[in-house]
């Protein structure tokens, strides 16, 4: 049974899902050395933001297949090293969307009306109404940096308060902006025109420090900035200097460049800043949502299925996964058959999509082909994450193409592998909802259910050959479960596929090869 380590606190609902499919150990508060000492025993790791999954940790994680981050950000995980080692990293991009959006709105309103400061003053025995006079948000301008799911939910809520919304997002189209009732602008325009600015972007090389002294100089003197996204997006020194000098009016900060926030952080000493200790996802509902989400993904991946919210490979929606799952199976089977029939080293893999693949994310299917090709020949673990990198490191060129289908099948997946000894082409399709079939091998028409043990032979089509192979198998008490023969014509070359109930010894294969007219005999396992 697979083993899962939960090293940060996650909701019980998520742990219950994991326990149905794996042995689960909950060990929170581990030091780095303690984590390194035990991580080699586990197939999966579930974390929040506290556990740091560094290169050293990953180097010790010989069995690890997946890391599930219960939340959005993966700053605490070395994603590049995980990818290199074939470890899938998944997160929960939607589980805390509402929680983060609602906190953003709460902080904005608290900032506008000086609510935390007034509360503290009143508790201290003061009654200073004029000191805490705020500003209305009605008819003000809100600038939203990052117009993904959270940014859109924030905009929707604050539009109801009567704010005009400016949006900056490289992936937002003009049509989408119009439909959502926002004005799409560049960053400098957003900085100049906004009364409130809220950030909803990941921390990357491009976004780190994106608001610094130069950007603050462009802003209105009464602007207020809210950050519930990631620490490090704002230069904290530049922000504190501007707040102290009255260059801008205020800020509300939930995330910090170093967490837990140091008492020496200059922002903590300012009265015009509202602080919360990284509470963006801290609602009961969000904690359940993200825990359930990553638990389901971990269970799926351990069962050999793709994840729907992978960070280090293209994600896939659940409803799309249902549609393409048979083609993922087919692709991996074709790849494995290619690899096991090969007599040389692959230099080029062409994956050709013919027919009605228009709505399919073919990148996943191509990865499945590569996984099937590489897994039988490599000592290291091969999966959907590292298959493209492993292929590239071995100089294998991978080409995808599409073409119309002039065949009886609605969809045809063709994998053509060029190697040091020639070219082999295998085609397959799916009948109905999930009947996977291989239908062509090097031009021979076949109809193979690709599973179990098989013997694949090439021979001259003449009477007696099939019988002689059957006799040799029968003499060793090996049952033939199915047979298919494709041929060029009577007396010409033929291809035979025998499905057998158990593997054959190499000595028996050698005997089969002595049959007159037989050119090759290869045992494969799919």
Active-site residues, by number, are 230, 259, 278
Contact (Cβ atoms closer than 8 angstroms) between residue 364 and residue 384: yes
Write the DSSP string, 91-149. --TTTTHHHHHHHHHHHHHHHHHTHHHHHHHHHTT---TGGG-----TT-EEEEE--SH
Contact 371, 384 (CB under 8 A): yes
Order of strands, edge to edge, in the sheet holding 493-500?
A: 480-487, 493-500, 453-460, 518-525
Which residues, listed in sequence order, are joined to residue 145 by a DSSP beta bridge? 168, 199
Strands 44-47 and 3-6: parallel
Which runs of E-coded beta strand occur in 230-382? 250-253, 273-275, 346-355
What are the tokens at 373? 């090709």
> Is the sign of the CA dihedral 237, 241, 242, 246 positive or negative?
positive
Residues shown for the chain: 526
Distance (Å, whole) CA 240 – CA 266: 6
Whether the Cβ atoms of residue 231 and residue 258 lie closer than 8 Å to each other: yes
Residue 44 and residue 55: Cα distance in Å, rounded?
16
Q: Please identify which residue in the block is written with the tokens 């109905």.
A: 432
Q: Of the candidates 382, 427, 412, 418, which has an alpha carbon nearest to the alpha carbon of residue 399?
A: 418
Q: List the structure tokens of 519.
A: 């050119």
Q: Are 274 and 116 in contact (CB under 8 A)?
A: yes
Which tokens sit at 30? 């581990």
Helix/strand/coil percentages in the chain, nearest 5: 35, 25, 40
Pairing type for strands 23-26 and 224-227 reads: unpaired
- 15-16-18-24 Cα dihedral, nearest 10 degrees: 60
Burial of 297 (0-12, 13-18, 19+ CB in 10 A): buried
In sequence order, what are the residues at sequence separation of 6 or more whose Cβ sits closer than 8 angstroms to the Cβ of residue 363? 314
- Both tokens assigned to 468: 């002689």
Residue for token pair 């991580």: 39
Question: Which helix (H) or strand (E) is 320 found in, with range?
Answer: helix 318-341
CA distance 154 to 350: 45
DSSP 158-173: HHTTT-EEEEE-TT--
């Amino acid at each position: 049974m697979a083993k899962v380590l939960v090293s940060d606190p996650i909701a019980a609902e998520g742990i219950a899902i994991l326990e149905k499919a794996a042995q689960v150990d909950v060990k929170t508060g581990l030091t780095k050395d303690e984590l390194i000492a035990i991580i080699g025993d586990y197939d999966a790791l579930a974390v929040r933001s506290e556990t740091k999954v560094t290169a050293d940790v990953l180097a010790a994680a010989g069995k690890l297949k997946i890391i599930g981050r219960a939340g959005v950000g993966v700053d605490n995980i070395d994603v590049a090293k995980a990818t290199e080692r074939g470890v899938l990293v998944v997160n929960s991009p939607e589980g805390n969307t509402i929680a983060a959006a609602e906190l953003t709105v709460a902080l904005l309103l608290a900032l506008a009306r000086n609510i935390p400061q007034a509360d503290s003053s009143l508790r201290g025995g003061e009654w200073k109404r004029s000191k805490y006079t705020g500003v209305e948000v009605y008819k003000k301008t809100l600038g939203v940096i990052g117009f993904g799911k959270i940014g859109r939910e924030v905009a929707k809520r604050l539009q109801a308060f009567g704010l005009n919304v400016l949006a900056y997002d490289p992936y937002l189209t003009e049509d989408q902006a119009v439909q959502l009732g926002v004005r799409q602008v560049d960053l400098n325009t957003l900085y100049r025109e906004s009364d409130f600015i809220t950030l909803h972007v990941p921390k990357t090389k491009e976004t780190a420090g994106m608001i610094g002294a130069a950007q603050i100089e462009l802003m209105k003197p009464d602007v207020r900035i809210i950050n519930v996204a990631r620490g490090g997006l704002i230069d904290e020194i530049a922000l504190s200097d501007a707040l102290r000098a009255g260059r801008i009016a205020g800020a509300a900060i939930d995330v910090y460049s170093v967490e837990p926030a140091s008492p020496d952080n200059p922002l903590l000493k300012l009265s015009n800043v509202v602080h919360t200790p990284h509470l963006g996802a801290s609602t009961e509902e969000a904690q359940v949502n993200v825990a359930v989400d990553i638990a389901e993904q971990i269970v799926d991946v351990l069962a050999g299925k793709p994840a729907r919210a992978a960070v280090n490979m293209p994600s896939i929606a659940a409803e799309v996964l249902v549609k393409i799952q048979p083609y993922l199976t087919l692709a991996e089977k074709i790849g494995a058959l290619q690899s096991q029939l090969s007599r040389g080293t692959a230099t080029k893999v062409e994956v050709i999509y013919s027919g009605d693949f228009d709505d399919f994310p073919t990148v996943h299917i191509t990865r499945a082909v590569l996984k099937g090709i590489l897994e039988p020949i490599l000592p290291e673990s091969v999966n959907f994450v590292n298959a493209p990198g492993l292929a590239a490191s071995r100089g294998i060129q991978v080409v995808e193409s599409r073409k119309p289908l002039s065949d009886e099948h609605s969809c045809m997946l063709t994998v053509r592998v060029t190697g040091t000894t020639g070219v082999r082409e295998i085609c397959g399709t799916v009948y109905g909802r999930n009947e996977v079939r291989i239908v062509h091998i090097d031009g021979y028409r076949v109809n193979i259910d690709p599973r179990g043990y098989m013997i694949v032979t090439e021979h001259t089509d003449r009477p007696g050959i099939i019988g002689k192979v059957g006799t040799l198998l029968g003499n060793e008490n090996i049952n033939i479960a199915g047979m298919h023969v494709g041929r060029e014509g009577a007396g010409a070359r033929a291809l035979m596929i025998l499905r057998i109930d158990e593997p054959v010894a190499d000595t028996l294969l050698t005997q089969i090869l002595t049959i007159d007219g037989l050119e090759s005999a290869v045992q494969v396992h799919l």
